Structure 1
Amino acid sequence: MATQPFSEMEPAWLSPGNFDDLGAATLGVTIVLAILSVLLVILRTWTRVSTGTFGVDDGLMIIGMCIFVACCVSTSIAVYAGLGTRDMYLQIWNQHAGVMYIIYFQITYAWSLPFIKSSICLTMLRIITEKKYRIIIWLSMAFSVASAMIGFIAVVALCTPLEYYWDQSIDGGWCAPVGIITGLSYFISAMSVVTDWTCALLPCVVVWNLQMKSRLKASVCAVLALGMVASAATIVRLPYLQYYNIKTNYLYNTSNIVIWSIIECGIGIVCGSLPSLRSLLKSWLGDKSSNGDSYGKSTGPLGQSGGGGRGHPGGSIKMGYLASRNGGYSTKISAPPRTQGEWVELDDDTGSEKRMITRTVEVTVNVEGEEVEGSTSRH
């Protein structure tokens, strides 16, 4: 039996006496996470573009967010058709339409997840330089993409034609045993849990070993560890995968799978976007960075002239007069310590610390043809 046009559908789950909380909960969670994801990705993109740091990871997150929105649209229509509602409240056409939009949900879910996780992995590669950690991240990204693509291929290949999923009156159509789909779902979920925990815990290990204030370490790790919430959603979903094999109350039971899958993707987008918004939040709160990117003037004792220069913690470039041995005057230029060597910076936070080599240079300029000695000191 073919499904009815969308304009002719009547949501039985909204009828008086037929209300099912699971359908309403699925719709509510889907709408909230879709709106939140769009807003955060827009803010993330605006922040990265305005600071000149837009990268491949941001582009992948935009693609993942767009596919996730399509996933949310499919889910919302599925709920309208009967997802989350028991069989006793549904007509045959409701069940067919619900299954059709569940298939669309599975396809868009399979495509959104690899883009989201790849974006998170590439973001971590921005700050992680140790080879062993980078290898782990690349492997996690590869496993995420591979498992998601296996899921997508399984959905589109296990029934021929695709419409046979929801309309088994089609002549010549066939579907593989449902147990294959269930087994692949367990495999993909297990891989997702492993990659989620890797993406959540590995950055925390790296950040905790950086030279940063403990308070800043804790806050950064807390944001990064939110990825474990996505993993928790995957774990909660595991017991419900068995309902792919049960036809009774199919739309009601599979709604549990859908809602936790939506939470997994939505939380992934939120966790992947929050770290890049710290500088934006600080600018809104009126905080000023003190990481050495301000300019100013310095003044000294009588006889010195203030010279403008690039500021830094500890001073700026100064110019003044020195008396020479022959009674003349020379110009003294004192350069402040400069950052040398390796340093680590997650953003423009004031709590970041840098390892630096201090270098002091004094240059003496001869005035009126008199010879004046110059000196240079390093330490």
Structure 2
Amino acid sequence: MESRGIPDPHGKAEIGVNGWLIGFSTIFYAIRIFVRISITKSLGLDDALAGIAYMLLVVQSGMDINAEFLGRDIQLGTASEEVKAGFFESLTVQTLVYFWTVAIVRFAILAFLPRIIRDRNISIISWAAALVILAQTMGAFLYRIFECDPISDITKSPTTKGLNCVDPNIHNSMMVAHGIVGVVIDAVLLILPIWMICTNMLWSKKMIQIILVFSVGLSAVVIGAVRVVIISKLDFSKATTYNIPSLGIWTNLESHIGLWCGCFPALQAVLRIGRFASNRFNVVSTASRNGNQSGRLTGSNGVNKVYGREGESRTAVDSESQCAIVLLEMDKLKMTTRDGDASIV
């Protein structure tokens, strides 16, 4: 490890990025839970897994910020041996936490897919992806723990004399392999929902909007690929405090954006409520201006009905699963049922 007497310029960026990531993840997950509890009343396994992932992400980013402060003291040459030991211990724990954080983010996305459509082929692919994620995570996690003999030496600096650990290059190869598998899995998680929507929905503006929402996951795939390149190019056994921030930024971006991708579909319900409320207001206003030629009544079974100009009745359903949310198109003054998008919230 080198000490150049000046702090790494990437350090401040790493702290700032982590702060923003924690803030955005908190907002997106809070809105997701609000939607699932108060609006769609469809809290599920994917929300629980996303909650675990969110907590791990906060821990991971918090440890990254703490490690940066420790690393800065080391770079300035003012760190005690205790601080140096704390820095490398923090890096080890961060790596172990990262393995499970990114895995649970991916599990949460897989658990979300049945909300879109229940299909046997999709289920098989999802279970296969889940098994690959579990095997990848367990393999990397156990490999990292047993890299040194005794195990406690994994928390020490790789330049410590007398360590009986695997060669740092082999360690980096393991991390590269973990990253490559992760990029492939992220690509599958990106393609699956888009494929499901394309094969089960009619082409429409709404369909394109939904696909664009899921396409945000493309950034996670690109970031994962960048992270793999960084791991393969940098030697983290030397100048550790200078190289780690570059990797840390991309690592945390990958994990947080993965969580956001799982939250974005649920956030559509908030926008839908705004549009639906606006449409209802327009309907009432139009009815008043036209001498109540069209109105809105509630049937005996509690289902809301909308009556058009010619007296035909139409049902406006806002079911628990939101599988049949109805919109009023004021240009045509008729009801059109939105297909497919209801199940993604």
TM-score bracket, shorter-length normalisation:
0.7 to 0.9
**Do residues 44 (structure 1) and 32 (structure 2) align?**
yes
Cα distance in 2, alignment partners of residues 105 and 113 from structure 1: 12
Unpaired runs of at least 5, structure 2: 281-296, 328-335, 341-345
TM-score, L = length of structure 2: 0.76
Equivalent residue, structure 1, for 2:46: 57
The answer for the alignment partner of 1:217 in structure 2 is 207
Which residue of the other structure, out of 104, 115, 123, is the alignment partner of 1:115?
104
AA aligned opposite 1:206: M
Matches within 5 A, 1:76-95: 76-82=65-71, 87=75, 91=79, 93=81, 95=84
**Corresponding residue for residue 18 of structure 2:** 30
Q: For residue 136 of structure 1, what is the aligned residue in structure 2?
A: 125
CA distance in 1: counterparts of 2:159 and 2:6, whole angstroms? 29
Farther off after superposition, 210-219 or 108-117: 210-219
What is the distance in 2 between the residues matched to 1:71 and 1:100? 13
The amino acid that maps onto 2:197 is V
CA distance, structure 2, for counterparts of residue 215 and residue 77 of structure 1 = 46
Q: Does 1:253 align with 2:243?
A: yes
- Measure the CA separation in 2 of the matches of 1:225 and 1:346: 22
| Cα separation, partners in 2 of 1:105 and 1:279, compared to 1, 3 Å | same
> How far has the Cα of 1:129 moved from its partner?
2.3
Q: Deviations over 1:99-138 (max 9, x none)?
A: 2211121111111111111111111122122322221122
If asked which structure has higher relative contact order (CA below 8 Å, sep 6+), I would say 2
- State the AA in 1 paired with 2:30: I
For the residues of structure 1 that align with 2:161 and 2:110, how far apart are their CA atoms?
45
Query: After superposition, where does 1:341-360 map in structure 2 within 5 Å?
Result: 348=325, 350=327, 352-353=337-338
Q: What is the aligned partner in structure 2 of residue 368 from structure 1?
A: none
Q: Which residue of 214, 224, 227 corresponds with 1:234?
A: 224
* Code of the aligned partner of 1:204: I
Equivalent position amino acid for 1:308 in 2: G
Higher mean alpha-carbon deviation, 201-210 vs 263-272, is at 201-210
The alpha-carbon deviation at position 44 of structure 1 amounts to: 1.0
Corresponding residue for residue 299 of structure 2: 308
Displacement of 1:242 = 3.4
In the alignment, which of 175, 188, 191 is matched to residue 185 of structure 1? 175
Partner of 2:261: 271
Separation in 2 of the partners of 1:237 and 1:346?
39
Distance 1:201 1:89, change over 3 A: farther
Residues 86 and 252, structure 1, Cα contact 8 Å, conserved in 2? no
Whichever residue aligns with residue 156 of structure 1, its letter is I
Q: Deviations over 1:62-112 (max 9, x none)?
A: 0111111111111011001116x9957575645443322111211111111
Instruction: Name structure 1 gaps, 5 residues minimum.
Output: 1-11, 291-305, 319-333, 356-379
| Larger-gyration structure (1/2) | 1
Closer/same/farther in 2, CA of residues 168 and 254 from structure 1, 3 Å limit: closer
Q: C-alpha distance in 1, partners of 2:298/2:221?
A: 56
CA shift for structure 1 position 180: 2.7
Change (3 A) 1:236 1:127: same
Decide which moves more: 158-167 or 137-146. 158-167
* 8 Å contact kept, 1:164–1:173: no
Are residue 98 (structure 1) and residue 63 (structure 2) matched? no
Cα shift at 1:19: 4.2
Which structure has greater helix proportion? Answer: 2
Question: Is the 8 Å Cα contact of residues 324 and 339 (structure 2) preserved in structure 1?
Answer: no
Preserved CA contact (<8 Å) 1:100 1:165:
yes
1:209-241 Cα deviation digits (max 9, x unpaired): 333462111111111111111111110011221
Deviations 1:233-286 (A, max 9, x none): 110011221367453312211222221110010000111111111112333566
TM-score of the two chains, using structure 1 as the length reference? 0.70
**Could you tell me how far apart the structure 1 residues matched to 2:227 and 2:129 are?**
21
Quick one: distance in 2 between partners of 1:247 and 1:337? 66
User: In 2, distance between residues paired with 1:281 and 1:307?
Assistant: 25
Match of 1:73 among 45, 58, 62: 62
SS class of match (1:105): helix
Aligned to 1:20: 8
Structure-2 change in CA distance of 1:61 and 1:349 (3 Å): farther
How far did 1:191 drift?
A: 1.1
CA 231–39 in structure 1, closer or farther in 2 if over 3 Å, else same: same
Provide the rounded CA distance (Å) in 2 between the counterparts of 1:212 and 1:345.
Answer: 18
